[in-house]
Amino acid sequence: MKIKVIGVVGSPHRHGNTTQLMEFALKAAEEVGAQTELVHLLDYKFSPCVGHSVCKGACLIDDDMSKRITPKVVEADGIILGTPVYFGTMAAQLKAFIDRTRVIRHNNFQLANKAFGAIAVAGRRNGGQETTLLEMILAFMRHGVVIVNNGPGTSQFGGTVWAGPQGEAKEDFFGIETVQGVGRRVAEVAKIIKAGLNALNYKPLYEFSSTQGMYKDFEKKYKLAKSAEEIEKTLDTDLIKE
């Protein structure tokens, strides 16, 4: 059984710290048997989301994100996001990529059950690596991915690296271990999930509904309701019954 892990790099530097670290992560994934691909966002021309909000079907923006990046993300069994820390969060390039993945979510959660890990590198030792990891993790939770940590070495939240003022992430040996841990765990969990899905011949039940969580949906479900107050009453009664 083949598994594929992709590493998406959101740094404006082609051979900078994030790229080098992603290479460490993907090498570790390969050691667990994954095929890998580094997707550097610099190699693609795409616009940030412009909010058409018509994400059912194909994205209305016909650019490299729709044509070249999205198919790679959908095809992968494991996904790693990597970014430099900018003001305690991810670089704008990576955020633009994340926003554009909405179309994948709105077409029945095609990233559900993929293994997911993240890597953040900052100039300072405590420069926002963990806040940045959390933001990537929270964004991708909306996709229904399975989030992994970086394994038994540190069992923390992902790859956290300190590049220092000269930007030498390669000298942060401990940080590199956390990154390798992410690569290994993403590949390992991707393999287990894929084997399980195949063995069960399981089709995920995730179905996208644009009215989910809206009163319209509740009305359908709780036919008695006519007004917001009545809906709330119905919900309360239902909860009590349960």
- Which residues contribute to the site for ligand FMN (CB under 6 A)? 11, 13, 16-18, 84-88, 121-124, 127-128, 163, 167, 169
CA distance 70 to 64: 8
- Residue 14 Cβ vs ligand FMN, minimum distance, rounded to whole Å: 9
Phi, psi of 165 (to 5 degrees): -60, -30
User: What's the min distance (Å) between Cβ of 222 and ligand FMN?
Assistant: 47
* Closer of 174 and 202 to ligand FMN (Cβ): 174
Q: Of 67 and 124, which has the nearer Cβ to ligand FMN? A: 124
Closest to ligand FMN by CB, 77 vs 135, is: 135
Query: In the bound complex, what is the minimum distance in angstroms from residue 21's beta carbon to ligand FMN?
Result: 8
The single residue listed with the structure tokens 């690596």 is 129
Name the minimum Å distance from CB 203 to ligand FMN: 38
Residue, CB closest to ligand FMN: 127
**CB-CB contact of 79 with 116 (8 Å):** yes
- Quickly count: other Cβ atoms within 10 Å of residue 174's Cβ: 11
Query: Which residue lies nearer to ligand FMN by CB, 31 or 43?
Result: 43
84 or 158: CB nearest ligand FMN: 84
- Choose between 6 and 41: whose C-beta lies nearer to ligand FMN: 41
- Min dist. Cβ of residue 167 to ligand FMN (A): 5
3-state secondary structure of 80: strand
Closest approach, Cβ 120 to ligand FMN, in A, equals: 8
Q: Specify the 3-state DSSP secondary structure of 15.
A: coil
Q: How many CA atoms lie within 13 A of 99 on its CB side?
A: 17
- Closer residue to ligand FMN in complex, CB, 7/128: 128
List all residues 6 or more positions away from 182 whose beta carbon is below 8 Å from its beta carbon.
Answer: 25, 28, 80, 117, 118, 119, 148, 149, 150, 151, 158, 159
How many Å apart are CA 155 and CA 234, to the nearest integer?
A: 44
Q: How far is the CB of 8 from ligand FMN (least distance, A)?
A: 13
* C-alpha–C-alpha distance, residues 151 and 114, integer Å: 17
Helix, strand, or coil here: 125? coil
Q: CB neighbours of 31 closer than 8 A, spacing ≥ 6?
A: 184
The encoded tokens of residue 31 equal: 């050691």
